[in-house]
Amino acid sequence: MTQAPETETTQRDYPALLREFDLFNPAHEEWKYDAFAYAREHCPIVRTEAGTGFWLITRYEDMRRILEDHQTFSSVQGSPAPTPVRLGPLDADPPVHTGLRKLLNPVFSKTFSLRFEDEMRANCRMLIDSFIDNGRVEILGEFAGPFVSRTLARMVFDEDDQDKMAAAIHVTDAVTEEGTPEAFFNLAMLSAAYLAAALENPPEREGVLRALVTGEIDGKPVPEEEALGSLNVIFLGGLDTTRSSIGNIVMQMAMHPELEQRVRNPRWVRSDMDEFIRQQAPVCTFARNVTRDVEVGGIRMKEGDRVLIRFDSANRDDKKFPNGSQLQFEPPRGGNAGFGLGIHRCLGAHLARVQIAIAFDELLARVTNFRLECAPEDIVWKPGIANAPDRIPVTFDKVC
């Protein structure tokens, strides 16, 4: 479904629409930004009965209040849709969460991510080679998706055997390209196989697998369920998000050609990149469970209630970010919650930023002048937790 721009003039019954807002309904993508803009103004915490029933959190300050109080707003079983698998730190509270982050933070630092820089650049160049002579590319499927999945397969599984690595890339590529339950099942099986092998024979090299199988939480080995959940969420959290960020930035450059000069300036990574991520938050939402009766923004919530944090709405809150639905680079805007806030702030933020910076460094060395092959309103945004378009077809010119 396409996302209509936010306007004050549309005649819809937003209170009624918000009451039935379902994050997994493709039709709701069409009006969600308008409805959230209405909610921020008139009913910032509003009840939807869709799914398990939620309080929708649409304003920045209410979101921050909730994300900074993990005791009252628990992440355990925090997935908006019931899931049979654990999701590592994402659906854990302290002390399990603290232990997992202590183990995983070092292998997601900027320095650690940059160890893979040469390989990431080589991957980008190979992918660009495959489409540059066509003068066109579907940027998500032919570039951003495979680039991100290959980086993750290498970083997480750290496989030396080229055939096994190719098989792992095949499995992770299928998750981004097809996204079917079967593709996710195959990924979970692959993670379980690598985890079992690593438990049997701990890898010597520093990395995600070694951290999970040799590390301890509260003096005890990491429970297998948490280790497997961590592998799952690293892939689930790391694929669609970075992929759609790269796609969105290309799309913005195609719609606003003057942006190419900004992205060509190496300083763009300091704050311009965050502004792209604020305005089109790649993670729309995640949930929390209320652990005690509490009042937020004048609304009384009861123990057991569920809240749905709308990162995409809070990040466009005019009270925090004037003219929030528009990109605005000068002066830089602080406080962006695109990567979340509080203890669950994104584990992969450094890696994502490194990947996005490398992707554009390599792309813009070879191509220029992106143009959308379809009208912007024909880009289809998928519903769900990630804010990801289906495909972004563009044409371009070669740099030389």
Q: For residue 378, which of 30, 31, 48 has the smallest C-alpha distance?
A: 30
The reply to whether 313 sits near ligand HEM by the rule CB under 6 A is: no
Residues numbered 204 to 233 that lie near ligand HEM (CB under 6 A) are: 233
Residues numbered 100 to 159 that lie near ligand HEM (CB under 6 A) are: 101, 152
Q: Which residue has the tokens 């003057």?
A: 258
Which pairing describes strands 73-74 and 285-290: parallel, antiparallel, or unpaired?
antiparallel
The reply to whether 351 sits near ligand HEM by the rule CB under 6 A is: yes
Exposure b/e, 92-118, CB count within 10 A at least 16 = b:
bbeebbebbbebbeebbeeebbeebee
> Minimum distance between the CB of residue 9 and ligand HEM, rounded to whole angstroms?
31
The reply to whether 324 sits near ligand HEM by the rule CB under 6 A is: no
Which residue lies nearer to ligand HEM by CB, 14 or 146? Answer: 146
Task: Tell me which of 347, 354, 367, 392 binds ligand HEM, using CB under 6 A.
Answer: 347
Can you count the helices (H) and strands (E) in the chain? 16, 14
Neighbouring residues of 216: CB distance < 8 A, sequence distance ≥ 6: 99, 222
The reply to whether 283 sits near ligand HEM by the rule CB under 6 A is: yes
Residue nearest ligand HEM, Cβ-based? 348
Which residue lies nearer to ligand HEM by CB, 39 or 385? Answer: 385
Which residue lies nearer to ligand HEM by CB, 282 or 393? Answer: 282
Cβ atoms within 10 Å, residue 42 = 11
Which residue lies nearer to ligand HEM by CB, 145 or 238? Answer: 238
Q: Which residue has the tokens 């819809």?
A: 12
Which pairing describes strands 367-372 and 45-48: parallel, antiparallel, or unpaired?
unpaired
Token readout for 2 is 């396409």
The reply to whether 286 sits near ligand HEM by the rule CB under 6 A is: yes
The binding site for ligand HEM (CB under 6 A) comprises: 88-90, 101, 152, 233-234, 237-238, 241-242, 245, 277, 282-283, 286, 311, 338-340, 344, 346-348, 351-352
